[in-house]
């Protein structure tokens, strides 16, 4: 036997619950994480339709038994799994959604790494592009990912304007975070009011959390055509498929700093991997995998 050979400390069974999962990049990211950390294991996809609670509970039983070390959670289960957790981390509790779960002692813990993943990547991009500190952000959309983004920005000291087509949805989000630094306004994708929104206030950051521009609708943008963006604004588009969205392309064409959400995807995955294994995967290996 090769004296340098070390038995792996464990066989890490990891995976993702969601529906559908056909185009998920997570298996590639986590397989690269396992490999680069020298760990044995697999990352499996568990496509479970929203109505199949039996399959969901059977899978969670495998986490409880230790058969599965950790699970990611994506649409449409991020909010519905909350009810099945024994405990939530304060972040998951505040966001009202779980994107990663694991056992601690005899408790099944629901966690959320989307907020920290978003913030980590935003800071990285800002550092690379020489942006100044925290100021004022406009967040478009008020769905699941907006909850994580708003939570992250408020905790990082930003003033946030949340713009949604359904004010009721934005109002619910605002109620759950209850911060005087958050205000809510209405947003209609192709309406002049969107132009007024952008020109009326000096935003330093615009975050798109709507799915506009996502494959196959790659010619869509959450902003009206030919909108003149403030010169110093940073555009962060959570959509990462395609790799360069129309929003990011248009912003760059005007000389603005802009990034898609691929970095957030990598960061939230790396943070979940750390919670499951205690190992920090090198980010370069993860980027190379996708
Ligand atoms: N980079 C990452 O790691 C990451 C993480 C999470 C999500 N994402 C991406 O973020 C996007 C949103 O995901 P999500 O989970 O937040 O979805 P979601 O819960 O469905 O929320 C989407 C939000 O966008 C709004 N919206 C949809 N179409 C709109 C339109 N035409 N005009 C105005 N508003 C519109 C929705 O309003 P209604 O409720 O009225 O439809 C809702 O407020 C997806 O593309 C997803 O892939 C990326």
Q: For ligand 1, atom 8, which residue shows the shortest CA distance?
A: 238
pLDDT at 1 over 50: no
Residues 150-189 have pLDDT tens digits of: 999 999 999 999 999 999 999 999 999 888 899 998 887 6
Is CATH 3.40.800.10 the right assignment for the domain spanning 115-264?
A: no
Q: Where are the domains of the chain?
A: 11-113+269-288, 115-264
Cβ(24) – ligand 1 distance below 6 Å = no
pLDDT at 88 over 60: yes
Q: What is the pLDDT of residue 9?
A: 58
Q: What is the pLDDT of residue 251?
A: 95
Ligand 1 mutation pick, 74, 145, 261, max ligand atoms within 8 A of CB: 145
Whether the upstream peptide bond of residue 216 has omega within 30° of 0, thus cis, is: yes
Q: Is 252 a catalytic residue?
A: no
Q: For ligand 1, atom 3, which residue shows the shortest CA distance?
A: 265
Q: Which positions ≥6 away from 35 have C-beta within 8 Å? A: 285
Question: Tokens for 265?
Answer: 């995807």
Same CATH fold, 115-264 and 11-113+269-288? Answer: yes
CA Rg value for the chain = 20
pLDDT band with cut points at 50, 70 and 90 for residue 8: low
Q: Determine the atom of ligand 1 nearest the C-alpha atom of 240.
A: 1
Query: In the 3-class helix/strand/coil scheme, how is 214-252 assigned residue by residue?
Result: CCCCCCCCCCCCCCCCCCCCEEEECCCCCCCCHHHHHHH
The hierarchical CATH code for the domain 11-113+269-288 is 3.40.50.10860
Measure 71 CA to ligand 1 centroid, in angstroms.
22
How many residues are given for the chain? Answer: 290
pTM of the model: 0.93
Q: What is the pLDDT of residue 194?
A: 66
Give me the catalytic one of 35, 78, 107, 175: 78
């Amino acid at each position: 036997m090769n004296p340098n050979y070390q038995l792996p400390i464990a066989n890490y069974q990891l995976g993702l619950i969601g529906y559908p999962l056909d185009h998920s990049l997570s298996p590639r990211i986590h397989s690269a994480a396992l490999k680069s950390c020298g760990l044995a294991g697999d990352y499996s996809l568990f496509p479970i339709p929203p109505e199949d609670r039996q399959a969901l509970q059977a899978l969670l039983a495998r986490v409880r038994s230790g058969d599965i070390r950790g699970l990611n959670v994506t649409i449409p289960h991020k909010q519905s799994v909350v009810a099945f957790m024994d405990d939530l981390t304060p972040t998951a509790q505040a966001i009202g959604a779980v994107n990663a779960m694991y056992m601690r002692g005899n408790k099944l813990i629901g966690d959320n790494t989307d907020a920290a993943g978003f913030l980590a990547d935003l800071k990285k991009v800002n550092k690379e592009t020489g942006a100044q500190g925290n100021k004022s952000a406009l967040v478009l959309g008020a769905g699941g990912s907006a909850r994580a983004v708003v939570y992250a920005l408020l905790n990082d000291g930003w003033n946030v304007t949340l713009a949604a087509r359904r004010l009721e949805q934005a109002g619910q989000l605002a109620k759950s975070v209850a911060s005087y630094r958050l205000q809510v306004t209405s947003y209609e994708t192709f309406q002049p009011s969107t132009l007024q929104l952008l020109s009326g206030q000096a935003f330093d950051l615009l975050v798109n959390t709507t799915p506009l521009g996502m494959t196959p609708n790659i010619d869509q943008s959450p902003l009206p055509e030919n909108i003149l963006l403030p010169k110093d604004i940073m555009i962060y588009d959570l959509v990462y498929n395609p790799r360069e969205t129309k929003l990011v392309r248009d912003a760059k064409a005007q000389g603005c700093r802009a990034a898609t959400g691929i970095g957030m995807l990598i960061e939230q995955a790396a943070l979940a991997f750390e919670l499951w294994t205690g190992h920090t995967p090198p980010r370069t290996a993860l980027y190379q995998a996708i």
